Amino acid sequence: MQKKVLYIVVAVGLIIIGYYTFQGTSQRTVGYAEEIESQRKEKDELFKTTKESPLTDEQKRTFTSLSYFPITEKYRVHAELHKNQIQQKTKITTTDGSQQEYYIYGNAHIHLEGKEIDVTVYKPVEESEDYLFIPFYDETSGELTYGGGRYVEPKLIEGTSTLEIDFNTAYNPYCVYNDTYICPIPPKSNKLNVSVLAGEKLPDFTH
């Protein structure tokens, strides 16, 4: 009888260990953080050394890296996409007061930080079908992150109506660094009522 009890206790212990091991694995994809770190290093190098950099030559002389939040996989979310059946055009106001034309691709329903959030997904008129764009504000805007909002580029999971939105890749518009750039301003409807502690922070320097 004692052996049976021992076997049961051991079995339950193994189940618990397996459960938490599985949970841990599901929360951290192998190689994911390393991939994001690699992308960040490449971007830092682009900013420091290439002609495509938005930085001036003077800024490049002192630039070391952009400021980022720690990589947290909970900010890599899957969202239900409600795609518009008809490609409706809209205009988004830019930092110089002009307007740029976009298609309203659809609406994404996100579960984030215990809240349900709807955001509009856009597609630039000139870009290919697979390039999507979400300009957004969140509760960090103007404090920890740029007050003019940030951008993230979601990816449609092939064969589904699901978007992967990875806020660890959220980035600042180039006009943060150089006022010769013209950047779309996120519509007020894309204000997320949560703090997105992911992606690029407010830079340590501006133009």
Q: What total of structural domains would you count in the chain?
A: 2
Q: Are residues 22 and 73 in the same domain?
A: no
Quick check: helix, strand or coil at residue 118? Answer: strand
Q: 70 pairs with which residues across the strands?
A: none
Reported as a single tens digit per residue, the pLDDT across 64-96 is 999 999 999 999 999 999 999 988 999 999 999
pTM value surpassing 0.85: no
> Rounded to the nearest 5°, which phi and psi values hold at 169?
-100, 10
Instruction: Please state the φ and ψ torsions of residue 99, each to the nearest 5 degrees.
Output: -135, 145
Q: What are the helix and strand counts (H, E) for the chain? A: 3, 7
Q: Residue 135 has which token pair?
A: 């300009």
Least trusted range by pLDDT, from 9-13, 133-137, 160-164, 203-207? 9-13
Give the sheet arrangement for strand 76-93, strand by strand.
Answer: 115-124, 99-112, 76-93, 162-166, 155-156
- Structural domain that includes position 18: 1-30
One domain, residues 158 and 92: yes
